[in-house]
Structure 1
Amino acid sequence: MEQLKQFMRPEFLNRVDDIIMFKPLDESQIADIVRMQFRSVQKMLAANDIKIDITDAAVDFIAKQSYNPQYGARPVKRMMQRELLNSLSKMILAESVDKTKTIIVDVGDNNLLFRN
């Protein structure tokens, strides 16, 4: 994929990504993918001395909300961007993150909650 990115436009790669066939994933596999993607978020934030953790309830929430057998793991990435990274970015820009405390991502009232 990295080699393709050097030669192809992002728009084309997104279209190809939407039509490529794959083996359907079940919800537990989607939850594993959520955890894997979250580890990437942890590493990214650790570079800025920000600690973050996620509850099992939040992992399950993201997995259930983004589960679609037709699209596999693609919706997970979109939901992580929309619901997790966007909210974290706003918190960081608003300087409301206490770097001495771990941010806990949880779920409540059918939304992700961020406790710091």
Structure 2
Amino acid sequence: EFLNRIDDVIVFHELSQAEVIQIVDLMIERVTTQMAAQGMGLEVTPAAKVFLGERGYDPTLGARPLRRAIQRLVEDPLSERLLWKEFRAGQTIVVDVEPDPDDDGQLHAVFRAVEGFTPPPIEELAATGD
């Protein structure tokens, strides 16, 4: 009965690294918009995008785990640092990666503030719905 209801098979091909990076960009855009509403910028380096793509992409599951990886590796630590007031309005937060000497040199996300951020006009923020 069930097999009779199936009328087509769709094959999904494995995503390329460039496609995964595009998905990372789309998902990070939401965080960037939220940061802009707080008067801060967010910049993710190409190395950090590759890192997030590698940590969040699974060939069998596709890009579904990417949202959780971005939340775990970027949003959660960034939120904690914002709560501790390590960053302030007028700064751009740069997300990068570097080896962790306490973890056998495994890469981990790092955050640093760069002075100088001009928030977009309020109309632009309102258009995003955030």
What's the TM-score once normalised by structure 2's chain length?
Answer: 0.69
Q: Which has the higher strand share?
A: 2
User: Where do 5+ consecutive residues of structure 1 fail to align?
Assistant: 1-20
Residue 97 of structure 2 corresponds to 107
Q: Is the 8 A contact 2:47 2:97 kept in 1?
A: yes
Does 2:72 match 1:75? no
Q: Is the 8 A contact 2:97 2:108 kept in 1?
A: yes
Identity %: 30
Distance (Å, rounded) in 2 between the aligned partners of 1:100 and 1:22:
47
State the structure with more CA Rg: 2
Q: 1:81 to 1:75 in 2, by over 3 A?
A: same
Residue 31 of structure 1 corresponds to 21
RMSD across aligned positions (CA):
1.5
Count how many residue pairs are aligned between Structure 1 and Structure 2: 96
How far does residue 46 in structure 1 lie from its aligned partner after superposition?
A: 0.8
How far does residue 75 in structure 1 lie from its aligned partner after superposition?
A: 1.2
Segments ≥4 residues shifted beyond 4 Å? none
How far does residue 100 in structure 1 lie from its aligned partner after superposition?
A: 2.1
What's the TM-score once normalised by structure 1's chain length?
Answer: 0.77
